Chains A and B, each alone.
Chain A
Amino acid sequence: MKSIFSPTQSRAKRQRTGQGVSASQSHVPDWGSLPHHIVLHIFQYLSLVDRARASSVCRCWNDVFHIPELWRRFEFELNQPATSYLRSTHPDLIQQIIKRHAQHLQYVSFKVDSCTESAEAACNILSQLVNCTIKTLGLISTARPSFMNVSQSHFVSALTVVFVNSKSLSSIKIDDTPVDDPSLKVLVANNSDTLKLLKMSSCPHVSPAGILCVADQCHGLRELALNYHLLSDELLLALSSEKHVHLEHLRIDVVSENPGQTQFHSIKKSSWDALIRHSPQVNIVMYFFLYEEEFEPFFCDETPVTHLYFGRAVSKDMLGRIGLNCPRLVELVVCANGLEPLDEELIRIAERCKSLTAIGLGECEVTCSGFMEFVKMCGGRLSQLSIMEEVLIPDNSYSMEQIHSEVSKHLGRIWFPDMMPTW
């Protein structure tokens, strides 16, 4: 950290401001008369509590404490002792912010625990942010999604206060909330020029039409996170229209409650192709939480996914399909597969997914020889190779000890499988 000002500068400052004490009499700088912008700079390194303490030292520092610059960003933490181990933002502080600094807020987030009261408190604060120019808004539930328990009308009206008044919203994170199509319309009507990022995974009240409206109007949208049922061919085409900027990041959650309950539609290859043509660098991140038998509609054709996460079991066949049809794959995480070795599938992935740099395998089986071949083929480009210990099956060619040294040699660094305590 470079020093704020050198000793010679400070003496010069004192002489310029005509502070009485001559350099020979006192070597202690008069902190109380530091210029505001210096104090501001220092304050920006302090935590809020330390700043608050400093603000009661003198009037100058108190004035600086309330400079709008220091109130651009705030994270409201709303927790109840019955539901959380963490403290809450002090209600007096919340009041002070709403009264004195609401109009300065630009980057705001709300962290709520699993209690509905906390989410309601967040909505109350939101409703009061009338004269704001908020750019970033995050509604984050740190445990169970308590925003979902707030009455939908209460939530929507609070949210739309910000949508309507800010007119410069750039990043919005509203996963696991009861946001609906009409609120998205309001968002779009007021912020279509500025919106760059929208994360709304698991928002059950939004329909494909609702999100399509966003894509159609917000041509600056660079990052989008949503659930699979909101994804449509029209959406991908809208995101690829000429007026639209390059999309950087598309996250899709595919979640199923019980096997067979949800029917998953397929997306046409031509829609994916259009997206990639328009945004060749886009990251497409897919999280799957499905039963094995529900994967049929996926990866039948070439799919430009870059990051794949399988949160439950995924079948051998599906991994085979991925090797065939996901040439842009960068990361693959498999929580579980089954009891048959995945050697072939892994080797095919090594062959065909030339961009693969990270792989994680949980409850799967791979023979040591198969694994060695995989490492030989693509070890050089793998920055993450996270294999749980139980995955590797020693065979005639390799024992666990040999695997450790051979893989380390190929990767050029010390490598171990991931271990879990065995006691």
Chain B
Amino acid sequence: MAPNSIHWFRKGLRLHDNPALQEAVRGAGTIRCVYFLDPWFAGSSNLGVNRWRFLLQCLDDLDSNLRKLNSRLFVIRGQPANVFPRLFKEWEISRLTFEYDSEPFGKERDAAIKKLAMEAGVEVIIKISHTLYNLDKIIELNGGQPPLTYKRFQTLISRMDPPEMPVETLSSAFMGCCITPVSEDHSEKYGVPSLEELGFDTEGLPSAVWPGGETEALTRIERHLERKAWVANFERPRMNANSLLASPTGLSPYLRFGCLSCRLFYFKLTDLYRKVKKTSTPPLSLYGQLLWREFFYTAATTNPRFDKMEGNPICVRIPWDKNPEALAKWAEAKTGFPWIDAIMTQLRQEGWIHHLARHAVACFLTRGDLWISWEEGMKVFEELLLDADWSVNAGSWMWLSCSSFFQQFFHCYCPVGFGRRTDPNGDFIRRYLPVLRGFPAKYIYDPWNAPDSVQAAAKCIIGVHYPKPMVNHAEASRLNIERMKQIYQQLSRYRGLGQVLAISEALMLDEKAWLTLSCSSPVTPHQLTLGIAHSDLWLVCSWLAMETQFMKPQIHSACADAASRDSLEIYSE
């Protein structure tokens, strides 16, 4: 008897390049595509209205595309673990398919569902299509650990076979005799809810700058490639004032929700490059955006504490400040720095900001100015940013706050200067902070320095109509650079496993060599500097090592942290 299939949509909200969906349909008698919405009421989730709207638009789009194939999307309230058993019985299911989810919680959830399904006699088919590669293979190639530097990751990728080709879009022909039984009351029972039904007040809500859905994604990718072809330049585009604004060729939210297949994007980029450049080997940098995404997915897949500082083997323990007031000012665009506030306003209003804008606000919150934990920033991005999923969001925040991946940190984004250099006229500020419209370009990035007459003419008195700057950036950044140095000085004596591997990677030493080096004698910053003389990573710069004279002799920490169990003399008396 031909099986009855369920295809379970989580990400991968598309009909193109969906091998799991194909397996659901192949030789099946019936196919039902489900999506679980839980919590049903958005109020109990951390996600903002833009995220929900995007998702609902994706679901609507799926539903309408499935209708063209005489099928429908089944949106189900509740938890998969609770509802699946009932569905298996009710629909007499013998096959369940879904796209592989590499995130630790996803894997746990899926393992439970798999067990449930097998107990119910349901065949489970899982296919990889949310990432370019099988992430476990990358980890295997790296000796069982995910690569912790982007350079190492690139090296590994270049040694692997290229990603698998995207599979064809689900079509009527492919469906063949496979049908979807749709009841009269389908829309009431399984229809896509509206924002209002989820508890959002949509009065006055501006239309979406980033409309969700596979159809939109596929239109965008064509536009994206057209523009690349027209420019005939595959180098990273130079940043200018325009880059800050939402682009009709932007793809990151669609990749996150899976409306656009990353493999499709990869191969279209490759084809275009070959056509335009008439050579056959595109450089890795062509796929920059996709590879960063892949890098963070790989780093996160085996680490359930990837989004935390405590108990996360790859995260440096930094003594961040707990300061809810300051955090709120940052999140609500009330820092008094127009550049930061404009970016955070765009983020809240539209759900997307340029990657350099992300660097600017992330640096300001963490290691640059406020010295607040990256976990807090990550939560705000999770709420507001359309393309922020667990792995990429946490990974990027750790990177930008210099908590991991051995990112050098000498460079700090100035909340005044950086914006000024990017958009000298200040149009971006005026667009998102209309209260500052009257300021001339000279003062729009630091309006508190404007003479009273200028403020009066702009009808905006700083401290009254727009907040004063919440920190003194020069002092704050001076202090925070010192903090970071203190931490990295101690890090040079730390031999926790995660760090060791990253260090050995950074030094291009094999792990054994490093462990020998570090166990035979305490590693002084001097030795570390020597060790990295042949590396290209600025791990413990000599300008940091310079300041270590004070640290003799070793000070014990009172807090028994297994990581800091290190009683070795660095300097002899």
Q: Which residues of A contact B (CB under 8 A)?
A: 1, 44-50, 73-77, 79, 82-87, 89-90, 93, 107, 109, 111, 113-114, 136, 138, 140, 142-145, 171, 173, 175-176, 197, 199, 201-202, 222-223, 248-249, 251, 253, 255-259, 283, 285, 287, 289-290, 307, 309, 311-313, 330-331, 333, 335-336, 338-339, 357-358, 360, 362-363, 383-386, 388-390, 394, 399-401, 412-416, 418-423
Contacts and interface: CB of A to CB of B under 8 A. Distances in A.
Nearest to B533: A383
Interface residues of B, number: 82
B312 interface: no
Contacts of A336: 411, 414, 417-418, 421
B556 A113 contact: no
A249 B319 contact: no
Contacts of B479: 144-145, 176, 202
Nearest to B309: A85
14 contacts: A1-B519, A48-B558, A49-B560, A84-B321, A86-B319, A93-B558, A175-B482, A257-B475, A311-B481, A312-B474, A338-B421, A339-B421, A363-B413, A401-B285
Contacts of A419: 150-151
User: Counting chain B CB atoms within 10 Å of each CB, which of A197, A335, A389 scores highest?
Assistant: A335
B478 A422 contact: no
A413 B535 contact: yes
Given A50-B560, A386-B538, A107 B474 contact: no
Interface stretch (B8-16, B31-39, B127-135, B286-294): B286-294
A44 B567 contact: yes
A140 B486 contact: yes
Contact of B559 (A89, A143, A202, A285): A89
Q: Which of B293, B410, B475, B547 has the most CB of A within 10 A?
A: B410
Shortest Cβ-Cβ A-B pairs, 6 listed: A49-B560, A362-B411, A143-B321, A142-B319, A289-B474, A89-B558
Interface string B412-439: 1110011001000000000000000000
B117 to A, nearest CB: 34
A423 B293 contact: yes
Given A85-B373, A311-B481, A415-B536, A74 B555 contact: yes
A421 B373 contact: no
Given A74-B555, A76-B558, A249 B478 contact: no
B119 interface: no
Contacts of B421: 313, 336, 338-339, 363
Contacts of A223: 549-550
A313 B535 CA distance: 27
Contact of B414 (A255, A283, A313): A313
Given A74-B556, A85-B309, 13 more contacts: A73-B553, A79-B319, A107-B555, A222-B549, A255-B474, A285-B543, A311-B481, A313-B417, A388-B411, A413-B534, A420-B355, A421-B292, A423-B289
A67 to B, nearest CB: 15
Contact of B321 (A113, A418, A420): A113
A219 B546 CA distance: 22
Interface string B386-399: 01000010011001
A410 B67 CA distance: 61
B100 interface: no
Interface in B528-573: 529, 532-536, 538, 541-543, 546-547, 549-550, 553-560, 562, 564-565, 567
Contact of B235 (A142, A283, A400, A421): A400
Contacts of A360: 408, 410-411, 538, 541
Given A114-B321, A283-B546, A413-B534, A423 B410 contact: no
Given A140-B486, A145-B479, A307 B322 contact: no
